[in-house]
Amino acid sequence: MEFFRYLGASTRASFTKLGRASYFLIEILSGLASVIVRPRLLLKQLHSVGVLSFLIIVISGLFVGMVLGLQGFYILSRFGAEETLGVMVAASLVRELGPVVAALLFAGRAGSALTAEIGLMKATEQLSGMEMMAIDPIKRIISPRFLAGFLSMPLLASLFSAVGIIGGQLVGSGLLGVDDGAYWSQMQATLDFKDDIINGIIKSVVFGFVTSWIALFEGYDAIPTAEGVSRATTRTVVNSAFSILGLDFILTALMFGEH
């Protein structure tokens, strides 16, 4: 009996939370107009969300691309199809790994930082204080961060893919002797700008939207204590990872299902 009560209570609580999160999203979106009027707020957040994620994205992208080059070469050379290494590396990066891994890294690097920052601002009454100064913390604090996350994500994902493709080329034609021309030309002949590149970008835009939303909401909804903020930060990373991977499946089915 106790168990069912627990189950019922937690189900209800998760719906309540979803409701609060949706309401919060509407407020963020309606606060976006005021961000456009004050680009300096956005610029500051682009710095802390985008620029500070730059290095981790470049380094991870390079290594992921190099590993893809190595593994791809071993498998493809069994079928005598090393020439298509470029296709394999580029397709997996542009369609899947670029958007997904960049978003996961983004959730870990920028998302958790956003949650902790907002949570601590709440715990130290900064948000409340702002409200009492007649300044809407959603417009002033939350919306610029949301927009910055949303805009940075596709840029970071493209960066990840681009660096990864170069990494794959370094390993493939630099170390393993795949023909350099074949690497690029096969890639160009097979990958389609609309089907592959644009769809990958759309994915990363969706992931950026969802990750920023989750991170900011968890911070704003955190119990304002040290423990509450640390839990909220964990939830951001876990929930973002679930949402990214789940949405990736749905988006992939929608985008690439017909071919």
Partner 1 sequence: MPYTHTQDTLVGLFVATGIASLFFLGLQVSNLSSLSHGDTYEITARFSNSGGLKVKSSVSAAGVKIGNVKAITFDPKTYESVVKMDIDAQYKTLPDDSSASVYTAGLLGEQYVSLDGGGSSEFLKNGSKIEITNSALVLEKALGQFLFKSAEEKKAAPVDDKKGKK
Partner 2 sequence: MDNVDSTENNLVSVHNLTFSRGEKKIFDDISLEFERGKITAIMGPSGTGKTTLLKLIGGQLFPERGNVMVNGRNVHHLKRAELYALRKRMGMLFQSGALLTDMTVYNNVAFPLREHTTLPESMIRSLVLMKLEAVGLRGARDLMPNELSGGMARRVALARAIALDPMMILYDEPFTGQDPISMGALVLLIKSLNATLGLTSIIVSHDVHETSAIADYIYVLADGKIVGQGTPQEITQSSSEWVQQFMNGAADGPVHFHYPAKEYMDDLLHSEKPLFPRSRLPDDRTAKRKRYS
For binding to partner 1 (CB under 8 A), which residues are involved?
Answer: 40-41, 43-44, 46-47, 50-51, 54, 90, 94, 152, 154-156, 158-159, 161-163, 165, 184, 187-193, 196-197, 201
Q: Which of 26, 37, 133, 249 binds partner 2 (CB under 8 A)?
A: 133
DSSP secondary structure, 82-144, as one string: GGGHHHHHHHIIIIIIHHHHHHHHHIIIIIHHHHHHHHHHHHTTHHHHHHHTT--HIIIIIHH
Shortest reach from residue 136's CB to partner 2, in Å:
8
Q: Which of 124, 188, 225, 234 binds partner 2 (CB under 8 A)?
A: 124
- 29 vs 120, beta carbon nearer partner 2: 120
Task: Tell me which residue of 237, 219, 235 sits closest to 145, measured CA to CA.
Answer: 219
Q: Which stretch binds partner 2 (CB under 8 A): 55-63, 93-101, 134-142, 238-246?
A: 134-142
Q: Please, are residues 185 and 236 in contact by the beta-carbon 8 Å criterion? A: no
Q: Residue-wise over 175-199: b if at least 16 C-beta within 10 A, else e?
A: eeebeeebbeebbeeebeeeebbeb
Instruction: Find which of partner 1, partner 2, none residue 50 binds, CB within 5 to 8 Å per kind.
Output: partner 1
- 195 vs 224, beta carbon nearer partner 1: 195
Q: Which of 30, 71, 128, 225 binds partner 2 (CB under 8 A)?
A: 128
Q: Please, are residues 166 and 66 in contact by the beta-carbon 8 Å criterion? A: no
